[in-house]
Amino acid sequence: MLELTAQQVRMQQRAADKTAALELLCEALEADGLVGPGYLVGLQAREAQGSTYLGQGIAIPHGTPQTRDLVQRTGVRLLHFPDGVDWGDGQRVHLAIGIAARSDEHLNLLQLLTRALGEGETGSSLRAAQSPEQLLQALRGGQQSLALDAQLVGLELPAEDFDELLLLAARRLKKAGCAEPGFAAGLQAGEPLPLGHGLWWLSGGEQVSRPGLAFVTPQQALQYAGQPLRGLFCLADRGAAARATLERLCDLLVNGRADELARAASVRAVLEALGGELPVDWPSLRVPLANPHGLHARPSQVLMQMARDFDGEIRLRIADSEGAPVSIRSLSKLLSLGARRGQVLEFFAEPSIAEVALPALRAAVEEGLGEEVLPLPVDAVVPPPRAAAPSAEARVVQAPPSGVPLKAVPAAPGIACGPLHLQIAQRFDFPLRGESPAVEAQRLAQAKAAIADEIDALVQRSDAKAVREIFVTHQALLDDPELGSEVEARLNRGDSAEAAWQQVIEAAASQQESLGDSLLAERAADLRDLGRRVLARLCGVQTAAEPDEPYILVMEEVGPSDVARLDTRRVAGILTVRGGATSHSAIIARALGIPALVGAGESLLALRPGTPVLMDGEHGHFIVAPDAQALEQALQQRDARRQRQALAEARRHEPAVTRDGQALEVCANIGDSAGVAPAVALGAEGIGLLRTEFVFLDSPQAPDLAAQEAEYRRVLDGLDGRPLVARTLDVGGDKPLPYWPIPHESNPYLGVRGIRLTLQRPQMLETQLRALLQAAAGRPLRIMFPMVGLVEEWRQARDMALALHAEYGGHGDLQLGIMIEVPSAALLAPLLAAEVDFFSVGTNDLTQYTLAIDRGHPSLSAQADGLHPAVLRLIEMTVRAAHAHGKWVGVCGELAADALALPVLLGLGVDELSVSPRSVPLVKQGVRELSMAQARDLAGDVLGLASAAEVRARVAQVLGENR
């Protein structure tokens, strides 16, 4: 369920026009990992189909069905444009809400926005907002219209006294979605107001979900407070939504028409008198909605247009729902229905137009209301919504089956097993009003003292400084005098301890988050964490005790700070319901060495705490309640992997030589000079890829010769005579430099990038080459050019490098080569090999271009496997050509660190592998365990296979036989 929070808001944005605004919005969605590259095309295409302007200065840009696969995570980002952006048709947008959603998850958001749309002042409040909170307040705070329809009126109800009548009224309000549990209790505490003529008025503002007015009359004559009781109005409202209705009621009473209500014989008469929503008994039509994203803005606009063609009223509701039908002339009302694919729409048309309008509506809905729709499966009709949406907790989820391997996304390697410990957001139910300030203050003090003791114990028992620091901070927050006095003030106003504590903590946390500082945002998470612990104590909600033995932590989603605060001795592994492998939490889990799997699905939450779980963070599977054999096998594997890792680390400085004496050079990939020392310490025999673009990307302007030279010199100094393979600047297209504007390209991966770009800016390339040559000063330097696809590109770059080298005297240990990343370079390798000193295969890009799969594609990139025989054949051609000319070949893409790729690359005759520094010891160890003869046979075999999966299976089989 989408919700609006302050973190989603970016204030004070400026955009010259709609195109620029969409670009900004897309950047925000992409930067926060909600969508992948390319979503902008979807946003633009959607606007081209029809403006997403909603009203009140709000637009809701979103992608098209074609770009749905680019959505990585459902969510929204809000950009505030105080100066406004022209959205076409004379509309000015002050708030653009970018939506990333694959299906209809955003409908509830639209429902929420309809409140803002109905409010006259919302547009100007949005424009003037100074903070995310003010902006959200303007959106949420929009006054809702008062619900008053047939379901809220009950005549001649069987009630014995005032209280019973009141409960019947409250029940109607609850059923209509106006009130929540607890509303009736608040109402009972109120003071009823006699209106005269036996009519009474009572209102309640707590536990109200939307304003509503119920009117009920008793079957039999009743008395209350010594006066007749003939009718009771119950208002659920916190604001002034009922003002107009109240005025109308006063008029009725003043004009002596009270009896029309007190003696009303029909619901319609009451509604007519009060100006409520009349029930429609017009001809109707039921038709299922098949639009993939439900009745969102665009199809709703089509319905609105249709309404204009008829000279009469048409209303719509979700069939069998309890809500009153809404006019299809109102976009906001249509959106407020929140109708989803599969639900049945029920149209009502005034009798004079029904005969023509209803068939036309049926045809329009069946044709998709301007969208392409797939027919609904026979059993796909979704039941109508209930008055109150079921909570997440109420949904029934089946636990995953026991004893079988289940898939999840690998996030941090390692095998772990242990009892499951669920850590999920809890719901707390508590009264809003307290017994007395003194009693509530004492309850709170006791709860805080208990939590303080728990925190003390945590501080005592944790060795890790970072963990201790987090809990010391919690202790300080718990004792914070400012928070304490705010809570006290609320208690004195009558709040319960729970309500006062929760509201103060939440307000403080939101305020810290809104300051846009990441440290303060973390502090907000700490505050909420602490807030929950105290609240749980106050509500008597037990947090499941942590198992004594190391456990598998199951969470819905895990934030970086959640991981950072884990006690690594107690948490054996992490398993999450949602999340992706590239998230920061996954990165931290890897750094802490905790095996982790993410995105395992909601069924996890149905598992009983303590259930044993076995997980493999490397291969991406887990088993619930594994049998003894699976457990034994996994533990053996884990021990073997640990032993192998230890051996690899112990021998990291030894060369990597196969069992039959073939040496392979193992180097490291780094991005800047800071990476050199750790790489050397981990056994790297040189740097096989220096991605020099980091020097450029980290700088606010193009780094000059001196700055570059200093950086490259630091790298060479750190290498202490070991060779450096430096790649010239590889930016452009998808990796633009802020100070180097590149015209927009519809397909940047096939655009001006790598060597194509630097050859267009020879000055830039020359400066970089000079810096490298000057920094090397005779030390072993290999320069390579990225993304070479044409022989001319290589020749131009080479000529420039050779001319500069000659200028410096032509001395020293310099080699020039190219990366093999584009299939054309591999195919031309026989020709290029005669001219270059070496090749380095960039398998990341080579795979992308060979298989035509975007390497970052959210759903396809898993298929972009460098062990695909097509890629391997290109590598084989490259090596054969190079060796025929006595040149060497390295591999510096991710494939080089893949354990299953190692024997194949070795067998194909690759001379050097360059991997991330952490992988160096294991890659070297892998080489030592292989024999060249066997690797050659294997490589020959797999070149003839049909798919990457077949290659992987074949290699795994051979390695298995080997060990």
Using the minimum distance from each CB to ligand PEP, give the nearer residue, 694 or 808.
694
Give the active site residue among 584, 857, 883, 885: 584
Question: Which option in ligand PEP, Mg ion, none does residue 878 bind, with CB closer than 5 to 8 A by kind?
Answer: none
Q: Tell me if 688 contacts Mg ion by CB under 5 A.
A: no
Please choose, out of 315-323, 346-354, 756-764, 839-847, the segment that lies near Mg ion by the rule CB under 5 A.
Answer: 839-847
- Count of CA atoms in the C-beta half-sphere (13 A) of 243: 6
Kindly state the smallest distance separating residue 800's Cβ from ligand PEP, in Å. Answer: 21
Contacted entry of ligand PEP, Mg ion, none for residue 863, CB cut-off 5 to 8 Å set by kind: none
Tokens of 943: 């070149």
Minimum Å distance from CB 893 to ligand PEP? 3
Residue 119 CA to residue 54 CA, distance in Å, equals 13
- Main-chain phi, psi angles of 959, to 5 degrees: -65, -40
* Residue with Cβ nearer ligand PEP (6 or 822): 822
**Is the Cβ of residue 335 or residue 822 nearer to ligand PEP in the bound state?**
822
In the chain, what is the straight-line distance between the N-terminal and C-terminal CA atoms, in Å? 49
Rounded Cα distance, 221 and 529, in Å: 54
Q: Which does 728 bind (CB under 5 to 8 A by kind): ligand PEP, Mg ion, none?
A: none
Two structure tokens written together for 411: 């996030």
Residues 373-412 that bind Mg ion (CB under 5 A): none
What would the two tokens of residue 804 be? 């500069």
Q: Quote the least distance from Cβ 420 to ligand PEP, whole Å.
A: 37
Q: Closest approach of Cβ 820 to ligand PEP, in Å? A: 9
Sign of CA dihedral 348, 373, 858, 21: negative
584 labelled catalytic: yes
What is the nearest approach in angstroms of ligand PEP to the Cβ of residue 688? Answer: 9
Q: Please state the φ and ψ torsions of residue 557, each to the nearest 5 degrees.
A: -150, 150
Dihedral of alpha carbons 515, 517, 520, 521, sign: positive
Q: Which CB atom, from 107 or from 892, has the smaller least distance to ligand PEP?
A: 892
Q: Does 119 bind Mg ion (CB under 5 A)?
A: no
Nearest to 839 by CA among 894, 882, 884, 786: 882
C-alpha–C-alpha distance, residues 282 and 317, integer Å = 13
Q: Which of 62, 80, 474, 805 is catalytic?
A: 62
- The reply to whether 693 sits near Mg ion by the rule CB under 5 A is no
Binding site for ligand PEP (CB under 6 A): 689, 691, 730, 821, 842-845, 892-893
Alpha carbons 910 and 665: distance in angstroms, whole number: 9
**How far is 551 from 541, CA to CA, in rounded Å?**
22
Which partner from the list ligand PEP, Mg ion, none does 603 bind, CB cut-off 5 to 8 Å by kind?
Answer: none
CB of 895 to ligand PEP, least distance (A): 8
Looking at residues 778 to 837 of the shown chain, list those that interact with Mg ion (rule: CB under 5 A): 821
The tokens for 620 are 């991406």
C-alpha radius of gyration, the chain, whole number: 34
Q: At what angle do helices 437-461 and 481-492 cross, to 10 degrees?
A: 150
Instruction: Using the structure block, give the residue that is written with the tokens 């963070």.
Output: 617
Cβ atoms 927, 650 nearer than 8 A: no
Instruction: List beta partners, residue 912.
Output: 665, 890
Cβ pair 648, 626 in contact under 8 A: no
Interaction mask 842-871, Mg ion, x per CB under 5 A: x--x--------------------------
Is residue 142 near Mg ion by the rule CB under 5 A? no
313 is a site residue for Mg ion (CB under 5 A): no
Min dist. Cβ of residue 841 to ligand PEP (A): 7
In the complex with Mg ion, which residue's Cβ is closer, 198 or 732? 732
Give min distance, CB of 926 to ligand PEP, in A: 19
Catalytic site residue 296? yes
Q: Which is nearer to ligand PEP, 421 or 691 (CB)?
A: 691
Burial of 569 from C-beta contacts in 10 A (0-12 / 13-18 / 19+): exposed
Of 280, 364, 352, 355, which is closest to residue 316 (Cα–Cα)?
280
Per-residue burial over 478-503, b if 16 or more Cβ lie within 10 Å, else e, is beeeebeebbbebbeeebbbbbbbbb
Give 6 or 846: the residue with its C-beta nearer to Mg ion. Answer: 846
Cβ contact 265:155 at 8 Å: yes
- We find the least distance from the C-beta atom of residue 844 to Mg ion, in angstroms, to be 5
Q: What residue 892 binds from ligand PEP, Mg ion, none (CB within 5 to 8 A, per partner kind)? A: ligand PEP
Q: In this complex, which beta carbon is closest to ligand PEP, that of residue 539 or of residue 742?
A: 742
Catalytic residue among 293, 296, 474, 868: 296
In which residue are the tokens 């991005």 written? Answer: 671
Q: Does 204 bind Mg ion (CB under 5 A)?
A: no
Nearer to ligand PEP, 270 or 676 (CB): 676
Which residue out of 178, 417, 667, 892 is catalytically annotated?
A: 892
CB atoms near residue 505 (< 10 Å) = 23
Q: Which stretch binds Mg ion (CB under 5 A): 197-205, 515-523, 810-818, 840-848?
A: 840-848
Q: 233 near 214, Cβ under 8 Å?
A: yes
685 binds Mg ion (CB under 5 A): no
Pick what 843 binds: Mg ion, ligand PEP, none; C-beta below 5 to 8 Å, kind-dependent.
ligand PEP
Catalytic residue list contains 474 = no
User: Count of residues binding Mg ion (CB under 5 A)?
Assistant: 3
* 611 C-beta neighbours (distance < 10 Å), count: 17
For ligand PEP, the closer of residues 768 and 843 by Cβ is 843
Beta carbon of residue 670, minimum distance to ligand PEP (angstroms, whole number)? 12
Count CB neighbours of 673 within 10 A: 19
Q: Which residue is nearest to Mg ion (CB)?
A: 845
The 3-state DSSP class for residue 773 equals: helix
892 catalytic residue (yes or no): yes
Q: Which stretches of the chain bind Mg ion, using CB under 5 A?
A: 821, 842, 845
* Residues tagged active-site: 62, 296, 584, 892
